[in-house]
Amino acid sequence: AVDQDGSGTLAASEFLRAVRGPLPARRQQLINVAFDCLDRNRSGQLEVSDIQHLYDVSHHPEVLARTMTQDAALEHFLSQFDGAQHDGVVTRKEFSEYYANVSASIDDDDHFEQLMRNAWRSSRSWPTSLAGRGR
Relative to beta strand 45-47, strand 89-91 is antiparallel
pLDDT at 112: 92
Count how many residues are written for the chain. Answer: 135
Look at residue 32 and tell me whether its pLDDT is greater than 70: yes
The confidence score (pLDDT) of residue 92 equals: 92
Across 42-63, b (16+ Cβ under 10 Å) vs e yields eeebbeeebbeebbbbeebeeb
Asked if residue 80 is part of any domain, the answer here is: yes
In a domain, 58, yes or no: yes
Name 62's Cβ contacts closer than 8 Å, sequence gap at least 6. Answer: 68, 73
Has residue 14 been placed in a domain? no
- Cα–Cα distance for residue pair 82/108, rounded to 1 Å: 28
The DSSP output letter for 55 is B
What is the tally of structural domains in the chain? 1
Query: What is the DSSP code string of 75-88?
Result: HHHHHTT-SSS--S
92 DSSP assignment: H
Say if residues 53 and 64 touch (Cβ distance below 8 Å): no
| pLDDT per residue as tens digits for the range 39-76 | 888 999 998 877 888 888 998 889 999 999 999 998 88
Q: Give the range of the structural domain holding residue 118, as residue numbers without chain letter.
A: 25-124
Q: Looking at residue 135, what is its pLDDT?
A: 40
Is residue 40 one of the residues assigned to a domain?
Answer: yes
Query: Which one is predicted more confidently, 84 or 24?
Result: 24
Is the residue at 120 inside a domain? yes
User: Could you tell me the CATH number of the domain that includes residue 77?
Assistant: 1.10.238.10
According to the model, what pLDDT value does residue 75 have?
A: 86
Q: Residue 76: inside a domain, yes or no?
A: yes
Provide the whole-model pTM.
0.74
Which of 129, 123, 128 is CA-nearest to residue 55?
123
Q: Is residue 87 part of a domain?
A: yes
